[in-house]
Amino acid sequence: MWKEVMEKFEGSPSQKKVIELLLERGFQVSPEGKVASGGIEIPHTQIASEIGVDRRVVDMTVKRILGEPALKKVFENMRSIAFLAEVAPLLGLSVIIIHPMDAKAKGILGEVATVMARRGVSIRQAVSDDPYLVDNPKLTIITDRNIPGELIEEIGRLKSVKGVQIHPPS
């Protein structure tokens, strides 16, 4: 679906930048043409300033979204999440970043989760970058404790994994 969404904006690089920001941040577009995160509206001028385009580009992009039923449905139902990666060490949580061989391959999260479960490590959060939206997608896993070195090595030996980074709690 993302590929089709992005293709609709191939001929409009400025509008494509708006779409990329809306998707990256999980911003919604209301039926009234307001961009929001939950119930909090984000002014079109603020979005324009963030990505270096004129406010009218944001206005036109939102109108275009509302004019296409498939896009309207997607953006009316978009939701953002609280991603813990940056604050995990402050909360005493560990972060493992998995760099996949091929992010479009099936089963990467399942393989990693299985290895972790066998070692008794629970996953508090798992966030996978969408390979259609991100150039170098990765899988970020937040755990509730330090990760033993042998677990990192075992994950690194999985055929679907190119590399592993770890950020232990502070």
pLDDT digits (tens, 9 = 90+) for 97-129: 999 999 999 999 999 999 999 999 999 999 999
CA 53 centroid distance within chain? 23
- List of the chain residues with pLDDT < 70: 1-2, 168-170
Domain boundary among 76, 110, 128: 76
Instruction: Dig out the tokens for 4 from the structure.
Output: 């089709």
Instruction: For residue 117, tell me if it sits in a domain.
Output: yes
User: Tell me, what's the pLDDT at 170?
Assistant: 61
Q: Are residues 15 and 61 in the same domain?
A: yes
- Please report, in angstroms and rounded to a whole number, the separation of the first and last CA atoms in the chain: 39
Instruction: Dig out the tokens for 21 from the structure.
Output: 């920001």
Percentage, residues of the chain above pLDDT 70 = 97
- Residue 55 domain boundaries: 2-76
Beta-carbon neighbour count of residue 151 at 10 Å?
A: 20
Domain boundary among 76, 101, 117: 76
State pTM to two decimals: 0.80
Q: Are residues 118 and 61 in the same domain?
A: no
User: Tell me, what's the pLDDT at 6?
Assistant: 77
